[in-house]
Chain A
Amino acid sequence: MEIAEVKAASSVKQKKNRSIKVGKRIERISTYTLLIVLSAVFIFPFLWLIGTSLKPENEAMTFPPTLIPKVWDFANYKDVFTIVSFGKYYLNSIIVSFFVVLGTVLSSTVVAYGFARIKGKGRNFWFVILLGTMMLPPQVTMIPVYMIFSKLGWINTFLPLIVPSFFGSAYFIFLLRQFFKTIPKELEESAYLDGCGTFGIFWRIVLPLSVPSVITVALLSFMWTWNDFLYPLIYLNDDAKYTLALGILQFKGALLIEWGPMMAASVLIILPLIILFFVGQKYFVQGIATTGGKG
């Protein structure tokens, strides 16, 4: 009799356990179902982009549309370079991005080290000002800055896009400062005792230790420059000077839109970013989580 009681009790317990397990399983299944459906929704526009870039013109404009092209036509990718000077735009974007990244890294690291480690009079005051500029909408300064560059005769050159980056970027100064503060002070102190000057310490000890953060800054500033539209729009009005973001709009005429080549061009603009993302994934995530995105 006792045995029977124990058995009954354990079967109740098992049932309860099983129902918890079933509940967990339903929870899991519903999570994965939702994730897969959402993934499909998020991937779909990419498939559409690639699909359209491979469709000949008549197929791009049929209803109902086809997802996978009936004929795989790579002509659009060739047309991209013949309809407009896409190669030129690509080169322009590379030049501008390269110098912006260079300027940003050179200036922001030095300034950030000053804010992180050198106790000077007024440091906290200037740091608050720095943070304040992060909140300032660029439209407030846009018109006077345009006037300055216009007076210098720099309109229609890359200089207005490049030169400001050599004066540091508040976001990146902030990000790098946060990182520099995590480096143990003892390293710098012992270098100081060995007779190393402040700039030497920064250059030979702190920078080599900060390579991951510098890569994060370089990646993010590359991405933002590559995507920038408003400033090239204001400063570049000669077709030969266009960056990719401006140049690609040439496919979208007022009346005629060249769908296939336009999507092929989009693929070519996105490609370097996707490659960089996969190469430097951890730096991207780290940087976004630190700065809170591009705001």
Chain B
Amino acid sequence: MNKSRTFLFYMFILPWLIGFFIFTAGPMIYSLYMSFTDFSGLGTANWVGLENYKKLFTEDPLFWQSLWNTIFYTIFGVPLGLVVGYMLAVLLNANVKFMGVFRTIFYLPSLVPTVASSLLWIIIFQPDFGIANAILDFFHLPTSNWLLSEEMVKPSLIIMSLWGAGGGMVIYLAGLQSVPASLYEAAELDGAGRFKKFWHITVPMTSNVIFFNLIMGLIGSFQIFTQAYVVSSGNGGPNYKSLFYVFYLYQDAFKFFKMGYASALAWILFIIILIFTLIQFKVFGRKVYYEYDE
């Protein structure tokens, strides 16, 4: 490591380094500072100490509502998406013919832009002439108001998200294909059936990938915004039941211009996601992400 190599290294990473200070480090410090002020986007910011945080926790029902909405969406949506994606991958991994065709079919929906898929599902879930109710009606099952119903808006959004579960499938598939075939052969000699092989070989051998997807899913799910914005026309309705955390943050910052307050919201989100990340590091150790040279 001589001096000129070090100089060269910094010349190469310079674009990122400058970007890091301008777009990440600087804004982080500024955002933390703003969270202790009543900044409105214009004029001066007055220091208010812990006022924003106190107000969030004690006087703001929408903070709790949006946090609850997000937790609900996460604890049901993430595991369901994980199971569907994994199941698809396991089915495809069974040495099937036309594997490429099936894989494409399951994967394509995850390519659809969130705005477009949200608009499509608005039509599918339309209470009066949507296909979802038509199917329920055909089987003489009770119909629903779906996205327009306080109880059903979050489950509807979860159903929507499952259509994109094929994105996770691709990652599982890579994991499944790296499980050595000899393990299955040995288990077969011992008379293990399909279910036993799945439960005692497939799942444990891919647990790293599952856990990685779980944590990434949690982090992504906590940032849900676009689909809720589109289906509720930007207001988080009905009755704030689709007002998710980042949605509320967006409204506070860019609709009500409570930039200081929204910064406090952002820092609470940061801490929640930091906890998820630390759990991930703890479980995986560091080597999953990078390896040192020496």
Residues of A within 8 A of B (CB): 27, 31-32, 34-35, 38-39, 42-43, 45-46, 48-49, 52, 60-65, 67, 107, 110-111, 113-115, 118-124, 126-131, 133, 135-148, 150, 164, 166-168, 170, 173, 198, 223, 226-227, 229-230, 233-234, 244-245, 248-249, 251-252, 254, 257, 259, 262-263, 266, 269-270, 273-274, 277, 281, 285, 288-289, 292-295
Contacts and interface: CB of A to CB of B under 8 A. Distances in A.
Contacts of B31: 140-141, 143-144
Given A136-B270, A143-B259, A114 B9 contact: yes
A143 B22 contact: no
A61 B129 contact: yes
A270 B113 contact: yes
Nearest to B128: A63
A229 B28 contact: no
A139 B268 CA distance: 11
B115 to A, nearest CB: 5
Given A270-B116, A289-B171, 19 more contacts: A32-B96, A38-B106, A45-B163, A48-B124, A64-B137, A65-B130, A107-B16, A114-B12, A130-B16, A133-B24, A135-B274, A139-B266, A140-B269, A140-B270, A143-B262, A269-B115, A270-B113, A289-B174, A293-B170
Given A35-B96, A252-B122, A292 B171 contact: yes
Given A42-B163, A48-B120, A292 B216 contact: yes
Given A121-B1, A293-B171, A35 B102 contact: yes
B12 to A, nearest CB: 3
Contacts of A227: 113-115
B15 interface: yes
B197 to A, nearest CB: 12
A188 to B, nearest CB: 13
Contact of B12 (A113, A127, A128, A273): A113
B80 interface: no
Contacts of B8: 114, 118, 120, 198
Given A42-B166, A140-B269, A120 B1 contact: yes
Contacts of A135: 219, 273-274, 277
21 contacts: A38-B106, A39-B106, A42-B163, A65-B131, A107-B19, A111-B12, A137-B219, A138-B223, A140-B266, A140-B270, A141-B23, A141-B28, A143-B27, A144-B28, A146-B254, A148-B22, A164-B23, A229-B230, A269-B116, A292-B213, A294-B167
A167 B13 CA distance: 9
A107 B13 CA distance: 9
B contact face: mostly helix, strand, loop, or mixed: helix
Given A113-B12, A292-B213, A266 B119 contact: yes
B6 interface: yes
A295 B20 CA distance: 20
Contacts of A142: 253, 266
B42 to A, nearest CB: 10
A194 to B, nearest CB: 18
A42 B106 contact: yes
B105 interface: yes
B253 A166 contact: no
Contacts of B220: 294-295
Given A42-B105, A63-B134, A144-B27, A129 B94 contact: no
Contacts of A128: 290
Contacts of B12: 110-111, 113-114, 118
Nearest to A108: B16
Nearest to B84: A38
A281 B41 CA distance: 44
A133 B219 contact: no
B9 A119 contact: yes
Interface string B242-263: 0000100110011000010011
Contacts of A144: 26-28, 30-31, 34
B123 interface: yes
A52 B123 contact: yes
B263 to A, nearest CB: 6
Contact of B124 (A45, A166, A173): A45
B53 interface: no
Given A65-B129, A226-B113, A133 B106 contact: no
Contacts of A46: 108-109
A113 B274 CA distance: 28
A62 B129 contact: yes
B44 interface: no
A127 B13 CA distance: 10
A234 B134 CA distance: 38
B74 to A, nearest CB: 14
A295 B292 contact: no
B189 interface: no
A292 B212 contact: yes
Find the residue from B23, B250, B267 having the highest chain A CB count within 10 A: B23
Find the residue from B18, B170, B259 having the highest chain A CB count within 10 A: B170
A207 B220 CA distance: 32
Find the residue from B22, B27, B222, B229 having the highest chain A CB count within 10 A: B27
Contacts of A27: 194
A119 B1 contact: yes
Given A168-B15, A263-B119, A129 B20 contact: yes
